[in-house]
Chains A and B, each alone.
Chain A
Amino acid sequence: MSIYILRHDEANCIACHACEVHCKTNKQLGPGPAPCKIISTGPIDVGGQPRMRFVFMPCFHCEEPWCVKACPTGAMQKREKDGIVHVQSALCVGCKSCIAACPWGTPQWDPATNKAVKCDYCMDRLDAGLQPACVTKCVTGCLSFGVANEVPDPRRERYARYLFAEPPGGAREAP
């Protein structure tokens, strides 16, 4: 795995899909490819209340990426220094082997270039000392990014607050 974690705090997400467009504008992509995606389901009944699930699907940047192994030209690469899995576009011949190989359907097809494109944590921005586009401009701040174990997990803090703040009426709900 890459040394980084791109965390989605689902409780704080509103499924506004801004991350998808932020990502695409940074990669100058037109309609079609979606390097990251929010998948919504519901509403369903959870304890009498309506609840939706929002699942954020960027790339997981696997330790032994199927896509890298499947790539016949060496375009799909794992970066030595931090484990980011990325496409070197000049080497991509558009065979779609990476798309077929990935268990999560992460690599995307770009009809404008006839090549594969994927989440690379916005390497260009990271190397300039910035955060990925989706994280930088997230509406609620539910996306966070950093070296794994170095970024605080909002869920722990929220759980601690929840234990402390007993709402009146007793009707409380796990966070």
Chain B
Amino acid sequence: MSSTMAPNVRGVGTPGKRTVYSLCGMCAVRCPMEVTVQDGKVAWLQGNTHDAAIGASLCAKGAAGIAFENDDQRPQTPLIRTGPRGGGQWRRASWDEALDTIADKLKETVAAFGPRGIALSDRGGPFTDLTRTFVQALGSPNYFNHDVTCAGNGHNAGVSIYGFGNEALIPDMGNAKHLVLYGRNLTESLMVKEAKAFMAAVAGGMRVTYIDPRASVTACKAHRYWQVRPNSDYALNLALIHEVLKQEAYDQDFVERFVTGMDALRAAVKDTTPEWQEPHTGVPAAQLRAFVTEIAGQRPRVIFHPGWFTARHKQSFYVTRTTLILNALMGNLEAPGGLVIAKVAEQVGRKSLKPLAARAPKVEEPRVDGAGGARPQWDPHSGALHQLFAALESGKPYGMGAYFAYRHDPITALPDTEALKRALDQLKLLVSIDVRYSETGWYSDVILPESTYLERANILAQLPGPVPVFAMRDQAIAPRFDSRPAWWIFREILHRMDIKEVLDFETIEELWSYQLEGTGVTVADLRETGIVRLADAPKVTPRDQLRFPTPSGKIEIESDRLKSAGLSSLPPYEPKQAPTGDRFNLLFSKTATLAHGQSLNNPLLGEIAPEQCLWIHPDRAAPLGIRDGDEVEISGGGNYVGRLKAKVTPWIHREVVFMLHGYGATVPLATRALGVGVADQRLQHGKLYDFDPAGGGCALTETLVRVQPAAKQGATA
């Protein structure tokens, strides 16, 4: 038997009907799911009914998992590039050859730059123990998640004030009286459980205030919609805090016991009155006052949603920071209708999964992006990926030679494709490990086809929450092509680098048993229900035991960590100039049927994806001669020019145009998505190294574009 035989082909094609528990893989939310397998084929997918929060529900993307599985337009064997990078010339390779090629290039990289010259990025989530362990075992500190284009600013803001990232805050919408959303478009940037809880809470009488330059579907479900100027939400928050303090609309007892730095807060918002913010945000001062009066009667059951995607502008970090201050002022932490702090196993008297990372020696090298070192404000567990590319171009602070993009497509996710490709050109080795043809895959040296989420098992996941759980993605069916699961791929690469012990598991069951050691939970338990709850009921921390993992044990409005980075804890608002003429800020988002660049090539999702159009306000469209339905040209300053139809509507701010993200793909083998629509990331020209210095997140919504009517085909001058 060859050493590279697939470990996931046995025992899954048996006749008859069975139920397999899994976690959906059609977007990064990874909803708990049950798979009905009939004679070795997927017959039905639905939510895992053992998790009451989701029930049988599944979104369009989740349901389209069957179409994805049956699609041939995905990598079917390892591929090795034969022409120039991005040239689209490949040859099929055996796993042995592909893995040997990778190991040779890794050895070259280590010889030139040391082990620290190897990097990997993924999309975060519950399975990163594997990817982190792989990078650590190689001797590199340079693991990255995707957070510079997602939650990084918010996460780091959370750490600076509460001592943990804001992903550990779970809104208790079912008991809330008012939810405030800063562009958190939770009916379209869809997480099934969250959307379900939201709509149930709205039906039950929860009030919703939605803040966004564009009226999304979520705005249409809200009771109050503020069409703010782009990137002005920090000014809004400073004024909200001013008014909350002025009206004494805050929980004085909570603040006295659990918050430090109130004097600094009062000083920072002394002059940020409702009138002061009005020209910055466009929100009438009287409306802001009325809002504060309303929530004064509703607290502590008022939630200011800390958001997920916060890679917006260069003060986004402070937007989340002040949002978290507003929650503290409401006194809503660990209170019904407020923010529940997610618990890990140990907090409910149980034991966490045993980390794979414990099997690899610690790496003491500083990170290439400075996270946790020269940049103490950035969490070294997630890093800041654009700084990998900066290092590739400059060779500083040290040289990098190899990069694994694991189920991550930085060329679609990060701004300015041309700049990014220039950086990637410096690599000795670029590997894409994926279930589909991504833009990054097409630019890489080796594509390793991972088995799909239905064809593979993952390492076990542990999800902190009101009740922490362990979750299993078990293998449902045999792989259709010559693909492998990630744990096996990383093990095989390590073996070729003579690192044998760290991932030395023969089967996924053996690996799971290691993870479960001492937890009191068995593989059989997880196979039975997919999800194992580690407590019977949510545990609410009694007020006298509430402590935050900060140096003072309290919520810290002034942060020493920020001070040590030379950053203010609450800087003044930086006013934004309004773009005029044919210039606009470019905003982007998705719909409930789209997951970034992943969905358009799916036969069932592509057909229901909306035609991409450019939202533009009538008052700005008219002087440019643009009418509803006209074709327009949009450019971001680089060579790339997009053409799409205008949607002229007052439900977008005058300073902004908007389009959907995930379009404009260029991979020829993904024929259904090829050339459909415009790639907003290619309009974000010059933005690759433009980021919020405090949070590290990209400043994507600061992108300025030019819009003009498209030149008529065949028109004469």
Contact = CB atoms under 8 A, between A and B. Distances in A.
Interface of A: 11-12, 14-18, 20-22, 24-26, 30-32, 42-43, 45, 49-52, 136-142, 154, 158, 161-162, 165, 167-169, 171, 173
Contacts of B59: 16, 18, 139
A139 B57 contact: yes
B469 interface: no
23 contacts: A12-B203, A15-B187, A15-B217, A16-B59, A16-B187, A17-B60, A21-B604, A22-B63, A25-B45, A25-B66, A30-B603, A30-B604, A49-B225, A136-B46, A136-B56, A137-B58, A138-B57, A139-B190, A139-B592, A141-B199, A161-B205, A167-B207, A169-B294
B220 A22 contact: no
B686 interface: no
A165 B205 CA distance: 7
Given A161-B204, A161-B205, A22 B190 contact: no
Contacts of A158: 203
A169 B224 CA distance: 12
A132 B708 CA distance: 47
Main secondary structure of the interface of B (DSSP, over half): mixed
Interface in B658-697: none
A36 to B, nearest CB: 12
B417 to A, nearest CB: 29
Q: Is the interface of A mostly helix, strand, loop or mixed?
A: mixed
A26 B58 CA distance: 13
Given A18-B58, A18-B60, A139 B225 contact: no
Given A43-B651, A140-B199, A21 B215 contact: no
| Contact-residue bracket for chain B | 35 or more
A140 B366 CA distance: 46
A171 B223 contact: yes
A158 B58 CA distance: 25
A6 to B, nearest CB: 17
B40 to A, nearest CB: 16
Given A16-B592, A141-B196, A169-B293, A21 B203 contact: no
Contacts of B286: none
Nearest to A16: B592
Contact of B215 (A50, A162, A169, A173): A50
Nearest to B609: A17
Question: Which of B60, B187, B223, B605 has the most chain A CB atoms closer than 10 A to its own CB?
Answer: B60
Contacts of B298: 168
B57 A137 contact: yes
Nearest to A142: B199
- Residue of A49, A50, A161, A169 with highest tally of chain B CB at under 10 A: A50
B592 A18 contact: yes
Interface string B392-416: 0000000000000000000000000
A79 to B, nearest CB: 23
A56 B222 CA distance: 21
A137 B47 CA distance: 7
B509 interface: no
Q: State the 7 A-B residue pairs at the shortest beta-carbon distance, nearest first.
A: A16-B592, A50-B215, A14-B187, A21-B63, A140-B199, A21-B60, A52-B220
Given A12-B199, A25-B63, A168-B297, 17 more contacts: A12-B203, A16-B187, A16-B195, A17-B592, A17-B608, A18-B58, A18-B60, A21-B608, A22-B63, A31-B604, A32-B607, A49-B222, A50-B220, A137-B46, A139-B59, A167-B207, A168-B294
B608 A43 contact: no
A21 B603 CA distance: 11
Interface of B: 44-47, 56-60, 62-64, 66-67, 187-188, 190, 192, 195-196, 199-200, 203-205, 207, 215, 217, 219-225, 290, 293-294, 297-298, 592-593, 603-608, 649-651
A130 to B, nearest CB: 10
Contacts of A136: 46, 56
A97 B607 CA distance: 25
Nearest to A11: B203
Given A21-B60, A137-B47, A16 B603 contact: no
Nearest to A171: B223
B192 A139 contact: yes
Given A16-B592, A139-B57, A42 B187 contact: no
Contacts of B63: 18, 21-22, 25, 137
A9 to B, nearest CB: 9
Nearest to A140: B199
B611 to A, nearest CB: 13
Contact of A50 (B47, B66, B195, B225): B225
Contacts of B605: 21
A93 to B, nearest CB: 26
Which has the most chain A C-beta neighbours within 10 Å: B67, B199, B649? B199
B404 to A, nearest CB: 32
A142 B195 CA distance: 12
A105 B339 CA distance: 47
Nearest to B215: A50
